[in-house]
Amino acid sequence: MLKKTLVLALLAASSATFAGNWQVKVGVSDIAPSGESNLANDTIKNVKASNQVAFTPSIEYFFDNTPFSAELLLANPVSHDVKSEGVKIASLKQLPPTLTVKYNFKNSTRFTPYVGIGATAFLPWDVKSKLPGTKISADNAFGVAGQVGVSYKPKDAQNWGLYFDVRYADISTDIKVDGTKQGSLDINPVVYTIGYSYRF
């Protein structure tokens, strides 16, 4: 009986501790690579990945009563065309998981601005060459990410809200043609996200 009482007490304490600390966000993002590179000793010029709209859910944890939180951005597989001077030379799919630690500027309004800094990954697969007789590959890559945004909680809303934010990541991937490195492609995506949040 004592053991059962202790277990129930621990569960109650745990529930009280974590109540309101977790938030799920469901958003849509425009993933817009801003980098541009020359490859193969500058013979392939102005290489850039195309924009893509993607479903981007995220999970956020708030550290008790502090203004700090941590957010993990996820996404469904994102497809990009890779073009040189406007001509498609390859296509690929990738996942861009991004983790940021955020500072939330609490105030008396329904708007909460925030900033964050962290890390992101570029995990490509299904890279297909559009150049006859060649095979292209792209390596996994990791980089630094920044984030600014604002959340809004409507009047009488208990747990849900809306948000908009912008992320930027400094990231590039090594490109190989037929197994030989031809240089690094700067991705440097700007990610514009709008969505719905629910805090437990």
Query: What structural domains and CATH numbers belong to the chain?
Result: 20-199 (2.40.160.20)
Reported confidence tier of residue 143, pLDDT bands at 50, 70, 90: very high
Q: Is the pLDDT of residue 2 over 80?
A: no
Instruction: Kindly list the distances between the CA atom of residue 146 and the CA atoms of 41, 116, 118, 168, 190, in Å, as whole numbers in the listed order.
Output: 31, 6, 6, 5, 10
Residue 4: the pLDDT is 47
Residue 195: the pLDDT is 97
Give tens-digit pLDDT for 7-43.
343 343 344 444 579 999 999 999 999 999 999 999 9
What is the distance between the alpha carbons of residues 16 and 10, in angstroms, rounded to a whole number?
A: 10
Structure token pair of residue 61: 């944890």
Residue 158: the pLDDT is 85
Residue 19: the pLDDT is 54
Residue 191: the pLDDT is 97
What is the distance between the alpha carbons of residues 175 and 106, in angstroms, rounded to a whole number?
A: 44
Give tens-digit pLDDT for 164-198.
999 999 999 999 999 999 999 999 999 999 999 99
Q: What is the pTM of this model?
A: 0.86
Contact between residue 10 and residue 2 where contact means Cβ atoms under 8 Å apart: no
Residue 15: the pLDDT is 41
Q: Which amino acid is at 127?
A: V
Contact between residue 83 and residue 128 where contact means Cβ atoms under 8 Å apart: no
- CB environment 49-61: b (16+ within 10 A), e (fewer): beebebebebebe
Give tens-digit pLDDT for 91-140.
999 999 999 999 999 999 999 999 999 999 999 999 999 988 999 999 99
User: Measured on CA atoms in the order 128, 129, 135, 138, is the torsion positive or negative?
Assistant: negative
Residue 5: the pLDDT is 37
Residue 7: the pLDDT is 39
Q: In which region does residue 90 sit, left (phi positive, over 0), alpha (psi from -120 to 50) or beta (all else)? A: beta
